[in-house]
Amino acid sequence: MLINLSSDTVTKPTPAMLQAMLQAEVGDDVFQADPTVNALEAKGAALFGKEAALFCPSGTMTNQIAIKVHTQALDEVICHEYSHIYQYETGGYAFNSGVALQLLPGKEGKITADQVEAAIRPVYDWLPISKLVSLENTANKAGGSYYTLEEIKPISDLCRKKGLKIHLDGARLYNALAETGESTQAVGELFDSVSLCLSKGLGAPVGSLLIGDKEFIRQARRFRKVMGGGMRQAGFLAAAGIYALDHHVDRLKEDHAHARQIGETLKELPMVENIRPIRTNLIFFDVKAPYTAASFLDVLAKQGIQSVPMGPQTVRFVTHLDVTAEMVAKVQQALREM
Ligand SMILES: *Cc1c(COP(=O)(O)O)cnc(C)c1O
């Protein structure tokens, strides 16, 4: 039994999802003639109370397109220093959009309206123009922590008052909503654009949705094309996305419970320290010398348990659709035997 805790992106389609994919009606989506892609986009837009959506190959692409549409070169995006758009998108904000980022610190990957207000630049020739705020929910590098709508609302209100756009990197938004019980509709009201990964906790093999108003999506579609993301019979993939939204949202709570169970076991281990608060499906902790993250993971690998180091001493485990209760028990046992 191989247990892969590297990421929630490693899930494979379930037999029922594969069945839905095989039965998809398809067409050429570059001509907007793929009925299954169109259905997924309509579903995504409706979920967030927005006018339109765009199916893209990845969450990196949906974020990059959102930055591109919302900004011009020499503008600035305000975000947390741990943001995926800064940390893990190859510096694409500079390459694709010619913008700067203003990085803010903040507990558990979160920023506040006061911080954003202080970060907004006055208008001088020698300063970039503050144009966009990007929030991440859940926050990946911060350990899967989440914002509540109550925390987001003042930031959204401020952006509207000051004429800034606000984007949500919601790669794992549904993990946040599983904890808060809040609705996608209510989220949609607070953002100009939302990026949603279908290929993380939701368990689709490929794809992300970018959601916004009609004019935003019209421009986004052009940038998707120039980035090489115009796919043809993408309905086979979109069908997996529809299936994921219909069947894999309610079960995310199980992943969170599994993460907390593993966290309880980690607390018993003398070589483990600094376990970050486990809010959703991500588990971050440090291992003490003489262990390194790599040597710790080598021991687990011999038991068929895989993950990846997130720093010299830092390990991340991710629970997901393909991690069963039985596997969690096996992980707990392997940890106790270390
Ligand atoms: C995974 C992730 C992305 C990007 O998704 P890819 O599909 O891997 O490109 C964006 N933001 C966050 C927070 C993520 O965790």
User: What pairing do the DSSP bridges indicate for beta strands 282-287 and 193-197?
Assistant: unpaired
Query: How far is ligand 1, taken at its centre, from the CA of residue 173, in Å?
Result: 11
What value does the mean pLDDT take over residues 264-280?
97
Angle value at C-alpha 12, between 240 and 310, nearest 5 degrees: 115
Q: Full-prediction pTM beyond 0.85? A: yes
Domain 251-336 CATH superfamily: Aspartate Aminotransferase, domain 1 (3.90.1150.10)
Ligand 1 lining (C-beta closer than 6 Å): 58-60, 63, 84, 136, 140, 169, 171, 197, 199-200, 208
Query: How far is ligand 1, taken at its centre, from the CA of residue 75, in Å?
Result: 23
- The pLDDT score that the predictor gives to residue 1 is 83
* Domain 9-247 matches domain 251-336 at the CATH topology level: no
Ranges of each domain in the chain: 9-247, 251-336
Query: How far is ligand 1, taken at its centre, from the CA of residue 208, in Å?
Result: 9
Query: Alpha carbon of 174 to those of 14, 180, 250, 255, 328: distances in Å?
Result: 19, 10, 9, 12, 22
Per-residue pLDDT reduced to its tens digit, 244-260: 999 999 999 999 999 99
Separation CA 195–CA 172 (nearest Å): 9
**Ligand 1: which residue has its CA nearest to atom 10?**
59
Query: How far is ligand 1, taken at its centre, from the CA of residue 37, in Å?
Result: 20
- The pLDDT score that the predictor gives to residue 243 is 98
For a ligand 1 pocket test, name from 140, 197, 308 the mutation site with the most ligand atoms within 8 angstroms of its C-beta. 197
Which CATH class name applies to 9-247?
Answer: alpha beta
Query: How far is ligand 1, taken at its centre, from the CA of residue 85, in Å?
Result: 9
- The pLDDT score that the predictor gives to residue 182 is 98
